[in-house]
């Protein structure tokens, strides 16, 4: 199993609206893919910004490629991201998962 971690930073005054979109659009999109084992949106306030992390679990890199494209370490963004993110990070991180969920 592979864990995929994406990070983004949003101004604090836009964080509530961004979280709503992540829960209503991004998480269902992730979970709709065969081979996705789960998706979680994490957030952490930090002064005037809020850090968001999408933590998703996948059967393998081939499934991620079907979802995100090639190369698999390039971040996938939604149309609404430009209205919220301070910058769009180019890459995500992947980790091999040892153990079970």
- Kindly tell me if the per-residue pLDDT of 96 is higher than 80: yes
- Kindly tell me if the per-residue pLDDT of 5 is higher than 80: yes
Q: What's the CATH architecture for 2-96?
A: 2-Layer Sandwich (3.30)
Tokens in use for 81? 């991201």
d(CA 89, CA 77): 10
**Per-residue model confidence as pLDDT tens digits over 18-53:** 999 999 999 999 999 999 999 999 999 999 999 999
CA 77, 72, 63, 100 torsion-angle sign: negative
- Kindly tell me if the per-residue pLDDT of 101 is higher than 70: no
pLDDT for residue 99: 78
Q: Domain coordinates of the chain in residue numbers?
A: 2-96
d(CA 36, CA 34): 6
**Per-residue model confidence as pLDDT tens digits over 64-77:** 999 999 999 999 99
């Amino acid at each position: 199993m592979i864990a995929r971690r994406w990070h983004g930073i949003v101004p604090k005054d836009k964080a509530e609206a961004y979280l709503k979109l992540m829960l209503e659009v991004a998480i269902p999109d992730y979970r709709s893919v065969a081979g996705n084992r789960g998706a979680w949106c994490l957030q952490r306030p930090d002064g005037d910004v809020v850090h968001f992390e999408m933590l998703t679990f996948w059967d393998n890199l081939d499934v991620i490629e079907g979802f995100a494209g090639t190369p698999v370490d390039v971040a996938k963004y939604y149309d609404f991201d430009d209205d919220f993110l301070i910058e769009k990070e180019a890459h995500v991180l992947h980790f091999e998962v040892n153990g079970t969920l």
